[in-house]
Structure 1
Amino acid sequence: MSTTTAAIDFERAQEYITTIGLQMVMNVGMAAIILIVGFMIAGAVGRTIRTIPDRNPKMDPTIASFFASIAKYGVLAVVLIAVLTRFGVETTSLVAALGAMTLAIGLALQGTLSNVAAGVMIIFFRPYKIGDYVEIANTSGSVKDITLFYTELNTPDNKQIIVPNGQSWGDVITNYSAYPTRRCDFVFSASYDDDIDKVIGVLRSTFEADERVMKEPALFVEVKAHGASSVDYVVRAWCQASDYWALHFDMNKKVKIAFDSNDIEIPYPHQVEIHKDN
């Protein structure tokens, strides 16, 4: 082979390598752009769907949040396919490969898939919705978000709790916000020396004076037990669910003031010491 021919082959190899290199750089650059734009679009789509209830009160925020999660991951799946196609991976081959990998992925991600299935069941049966105060998986808090994979709770002391949907659906769910009214239970103690009817009358009048206490169901005030040093009285008052905690704290204060005004003693444990002379 002559020197001229070798030089031509070398130049062709350089051109080929340069072309392949430029093409690779362009593909990587385009893939990066597709990813960036795709993530931006996915986020924008999710945010747009989440804000639909703000414009249309008939749309439930819980459903909007769930479908926003589905739409976001759907857009990201399309973005991933577009990136792989950019690198020469044929869509038909990709679909075939995904089909072959489905069983393996399903076995490897049983927990994740069960969370998705549980998320669908939560949206379908609606045991709780965004804004409800619930107890799920031994954790209490207000439901802040429901996604395909988890439920986000916000505790009264402003902590974020992430509960996988599988645990939420597979455990006992207590929804304190499901019904518009709640019963607020109290136990108060008075001395054995105080007249029972008088104590019951003071308790009843104190609770009936509060506008948050509902007339129906009727207020219940009765003797609960004979304690070691006191007579215990139970009060059951119904109120709006939103007034529950405010009523609970306020009435403990008001009953103490009412007892003091009516000379009703609130007993406390006493210790008696007995000394023996040797």
Structure 2
Amino acid sequence: MENVAQSMGWLQANLLNILYVIVIAFAAYWAAGLVKRMIVGLGKRHEALDETLFHFLGSIARYAVLVFAGLIVLDRFGIQTTSLIAILGAAGLAVGLALQGTLSSLAAGIMLILFRPFKVGDFVEAAGTFGKVDAITLFTTDMITFDNQHIIVPNSEIWGAKITNHSHHAVRGVDMVASVAYGTDIKKAKASIAKVLKAHEHVLAEPAAFVEVETLNSSSVDILVRPFTDGAHYFDVKYSLPQAIYEQFAKDGIEIPFQQIVIHQAS
């Protein structure tokens, strides 16, 4: 009976606090949800902003509101929150040190999403991997290579290194070299290359292709060929033109060089 009486006494003494906690809990839950929805909605309203990042920021804001409400409740019951905050801070530091790699990938993911050096669907070369970007998350970037491998790269490795976005510009130049033998009529060789470029369905007339002698090698004259094409057809042009140029050279009687060794016999 004594325990029951003590419980009833404590309940009566703290009834106001209990009602206060209930009100705070409901208000905090509602406010946390409202703050998250506002932040997520901000990301959805502006196409330039990434929804993934704003979902993450919204979750952080939601938990921050709930933690703040929890501290208010503890203070209401006379519990000192200063030491609790210090403990949480020390624990957060320890966790941060233990998860340095993960947190660096998180920071890099936020930077990638904010500055958008590439987007899903782009062909990029980053962290030693070349392929099509399949997904960008806060911690990793998923890429599909040309031999259909699924590569998952930590964002920290991408952000801290060189990034080449092959899809950034709509029109791209495609560099290749066509070699001819010494003694070849260069004007004739250029005309032969021009026929191939004009006949190719994906080579653009504007900007005009660049075709000029680049290097005089030991056994060949190297002609730099740079046609322009839509980014979507880059690889088709890159890998189909060399064969077409070779076949056109054969038709036009243009000699393709090969390594030669000339031996002079002493008299």
If the length of structure 1 is used for normalisation, what is the TM-score?
Answer: 0.64
Number of aligned positions between the proteins: 205
* Mapping of residues 94-243 of structure 1, within 5 Å: 98-243=88-233
The answer on whether the counterparts of 2:123 and 2:165 sit within 8 Å (CA) in structure 1 is yes
**Paired residues of 1:186 and 1:236 also in contact (CA < 8 A):** yes
Local SS of the residue matching 1:271: coil
Overall identity of the aligned pairs, in %: 41
After superposition, the C-alpha distances for 1:47-98 in whole angstroms (9 at most, x for unaligned) are: xx9xxxxxx9x968x9355567x49x88xx9xxxxxxxxxxxxxx99x9665
Runs of 4+ in 1 over 4 A off after TM superposition: 64-68, 95-100, 273-277
Separation (CA, whole Å) in 2 of partners of 1:117 and 1:145: 17
Give, in whole Å, the separation in 2 of the partners of 1:165 and 1:231: 44
Task: Please provide the CA RMSD for this pair.
Answer: 3.2
Q: Please, which runs of 5 or more residues in structure 2 have no aligned partner? A: 1-39, 64-78
Distance 1:107 1:230 in 2: 59
SS in 2 for 1:232: strand
Kindly state the Cα deviation for residue 264 of structure 1 after the two structures are TM-superposed.
0.6
The alpha-carbon deviation at position 199 of structure 1 amounts to: 0.9
Asked if the contact 1:213/1:238 (under 8 Å) is kept, the reply is yes
Give the TM-score taking structure 2 as reference length.
Answer: 0.66
User: Tell me, what secondary structure is at the counterpart of 1:112?
Assistant: helix
1:152-199 deviations in whole A, cap 9, x for unaligned? 222111222222112211211111111111110111111223211111
CA contact (8 A) 1:66 1:146 kept: no
Higher mean C-alpha deviation, range 232-241 or range 106-115:
106-115
Question: What are structure 1's unaligned runs of at least 5 residues?
Answer: 1-48, 50-55, 78-91
Letter in 2 for 1:260: A
SS across alignment from 1:167 = helix
CA–CA separation in structure 1 for the residues paired with 2:137 and 2:196: 46
Q: Distance in 2 between matches of 1:214 and 1:119?
A: 37
Q: Report the counterpart of residue 63 of structure 1 in structure 2.
A: 50
